[in-house]
Amino acid sequence: MTPILSGFSDILHPMVLLWIIAGVAIGYLVGALPGLGKATAVAIAIPLTFALPALPAIAFLIGIAKGSAAGSAVSAILLNVPGEPSSAPTALDGYPLARQGKAGKALKAALFASVLGDLGATLALVVLAQPIASYALAITPVEICAVLVFSLTFVAGLSAQSLAKGLVAALLGLLAATVGLEIESGLPRLTFGDYRLFDGIPLIPMAIGMLAVAEMILQAGNRAALDQQAATIAKGADPDDSRMTRDDWGRAAPAIARGTAIGIGVGILPGLGASVGSFLSYGLARSRSKEPGRFGNGAIEGVAASESADNAVVPASLIPLFALGIPGSVIAAILIGAFMLHGVTPGPMMFAQQPRLVGGIYAAMMAASLALLLIGLLFQRVFAQVVRVPTRRVVPVVLILCVIGAWVEGGGAFGVQVMLAFAVLGVLFVKLGFSVVNFLIGFVVGRAFELTLRQSIQILERDPANLLAHPIALIFLAMTALAVWRFTRGASRKPEHPEEI
C-alpha cells in the first residue's frame, strides 16, 4: 500500500498538475464542440505524449476523456446538439431548460452530475479494481445479454403517451441497428448495395439529425415565437434560474446516485459504452419518476441522470482494464496503446510491478475530477453567453455545426446524408407521437444485444437448460418478466393514464 500512497504525492509535481489541467481543459473544449468525439481527441493527443514521462502522459489522456465527457453537455444544453452521442439524453431536458431561461441552472446541474459521477466511479475504480478481478471473469456474454434484455424494459417507462407507439419506436431502433454486415457470416444486411452502410448507420449523424435538425425544422417559420423565446432566455432575471436550488438538488441527487451506479455497471461490462449508460440512466430516471410528464419539458433530474452516467462510464471502463487487462470501452482500448507506449502493461501485474505509478494514476484521476469542476465553472461563464444571441441568429450557426459534426463522424458527405434522412424521420416521429428516445435506445442497445445473444446461444450450446449455470443472468431475466408483467397489467387497467404506472 505504501508505494501506492507515495504515488499519490507524485501528482503534486507542478508539471503533472499542469498536464492534468491541460487535459481536462482541452477535453472540455473538444466535448463542447459538436463533431469531435472523445475517442478522436484522445487518439490525436497520443502522439503529443511521446516525449512525456508515463504519469503526466496518462493523466493528460485520461483528463481529455473526462473533460470531453463533461463538456459535451454544454452544446447539448445550449444548442440542442449533443457534442457526443452519450450526451443526447442530456439535450432532451437540458435544451428545454435553456429555452425557459434556465441555461445556467441546466449547465450547473450537468457539471455537478458529471463531477459527482466521475468522482464516484473513480473511487469505485480505486476500491474495486483489484477485488473485482475474480468476479469480472464470471461475467460472460450470457449475463450481459440478460442485462440488455432487462434494460429494454425501461422503454416501456419512457412511453408516456402510448405503450404501443413506444414499443414500435424501440423496435424500429433495433431494426436500424441490424443495418450493416451480419456479424457471423459477414453478409450485408439492409444496406441496399451501398458499401458505406457496411459498418451500420453512424450514430452521431443519426442523433444530430433526429434531435437537433428535426427540432430546428419543427421550429422553422415560427419567428415570433423564436424571438420571444430568445428574449426569455436572455433575461434570466431570477437568480434561481442560473443556480441549483435546494429543490433542484432534491430532484437531482437520487438521479445522480442511480446514474453513477448505472455508469459504473455499464463501464465494467465490456463493449457497451457511454451512450448505453446515459440512455439507460435517463430511461430509468424517467420510468422511476412520479411525474414522468416533466421529462422532455425541462426536468433537471433528466439532465443529472444522463450526465452522471455518461461521466461515470469513463473511469469505470478502466476497472476491467486495470484488473484484467481487458478494454471495457473504446477509450480503454485507445489507452492500452498509450500505456504500452509508456512501458506499462495494463492488467493485474501492473499493481505488482508499478504500484507507485498506479497510485499516481489514481490520484491524478481524482485531481482531474476536481479540475473538471473548476474548469467547467470557468468555461460555462463564457459558453453561457451564447444564450444572449437571438435564436434566429443561432440556428444557422448550429446547422453548420451539425453538418460539420455529421461530416467528421459519419465519413464525409455520407454522414450529412444520414443526418438529413434522420432529420426527416425525427420530424415524422414527433408529429406522429412516436418517441425519438426509444428509437435511439433501441439503436444503441441493438448491436450489443444481437452480438451477445448469438454468443450466448453458442456458449449455452443451444440448450436453455444450461442457463442454470448462470444465476446472474437468471435474476435479470426474472426481473424482465416481472417488469413486463407489471407494465402490461398497468396498461390494460388504466389505458388513459399510463404515466401512473
Partner 1 sequence: MFKTLKAAALIALTVASPALADWPERPISLIVGFGPGGQSDLLGRALASVMAEELGVPVNVVNRPGAAGGAALAGLRSMPADGYNIMLNPTQTITLTPALMAQVPFSIDDFSFAGMLTSFDIALIAPTSAPFDDYAGMIAHTRENPGLLFAALSATTRIFATEIARANDISIEILPVDGGPGMVNAILGEQALLAYSGGVHHRYPEQMKVIAALTTERNAGSPDVPTIAELGLPIGMDMQTVLIAPAGTPDDVIARLEATLATAAENPAFREVADSMSAVVQFRTAAEATEIMHKQLASNLAIMRAAGVQPQ
Binding residues (CB under 8 A) for partner 1: these are: 39-40, 42-44, 46-47, 50, 137, 139-141, 181, 183-187, 193, 195-196, 198-199, 270-271, 324-327, 330, 333-334, 336-337, 340-341, 345, 349, 411-412, 451, 454-455, 458-459, 461
Rounded to an integer, what distance in angstroms lies between the CA atom of residue 453 and that of residue 185?
15
- Please report how close the Cβ of residue 337 comes to partner 1 at its closest, in angstroms: 6
- Please report how close the Cβ of residue 220 comes to partner 1 at its closest, in angstroms: 32
Fill in the amino acid letter for 135.
Y
C-beta of 254 vs 411, nearer to partner 1: 411
Rounded to an integer, what distance in angstroms lies between the CA atom of residue 464 and that of residue 466?
5
- Please report how close the Cβ of residue 353 comes to partner 1 at its closest, in angstroms: 12
C-beta of 158 vs 418, nearer to partner 1: 418
Cβ-proximal residues to 92 (8 Å cutoff; 6+ apart), any chain:
211, 282, 295, 296, 302, 306, 437
C-beta of 13 vs 196, nearer to partner 1: 196
User: What separation in angstroms does the CA of 131 have from each of 71, 270, 356, 377, 466?
Assistant: 32, 18, 19, 35, 28
- Please report how close the Cβ of residue 186 comes to partner 1 at its closest, in angstroms: 3
Cβ-proximal residues to 500 (8 Å cutoff; 6+ apart), any chain:
490, 494
Number of C-beta neighbours around residue 205 at 10 A? 30
DSSP state of 270: T
- Please report how close the Cβ of residue 135 comes to partner 1 at its closest, in angstroms: 12
Rounded to an integer, what distance in angstroms lies between the CA atom of residue 39 and that of residue 27?
10
Rounded to an integer, what distance in angstroms lies between the CA atom of residue 120 and that of residue 316?
9
- Please report how close the Cβ of residue 115 comes to partner 1 at its closest, in angstroms: 25
C-beta of 253 vs 457, nearer to partner 1: 457
Number of C-beta neighbours around residue 195 at 10 A? 9
C-beta of 202 vs 296, nearer to partner 1: 202
C-beta of 141 vs 173, nearer to partner 1: 141
Identify the bridge partners of residue 180 per DSSP, sorted by sequence position.
189
C-beta of 349 vs 482, nearer to partner 1: 349
- Please report how close the Cβ of residue 3 comes to partner 1 at its closest, in angstroms: 22
User: What separation in angstroms does the CA of 171 have from each of 154, 156, 335, 435, 454?
Assistant: 13, 12, 34, 11, 18
Considering just the CA atoms, what is the radius of gyration of the chain in Å?
A: 22
C-beta of 461 vs 496, nearer to partner 1: 461
- Please report how close the Cβ of residue 399 comes to partner 1 at its closest, in angstroms: 24
Rounded to an integer, what distance in angstroms lies between the CA atom of residue 147 and that of residue 156?
16
Rounded to an integer, what distance in angstroms lies between the CA atom of residue 218 and that of residue 36?
26
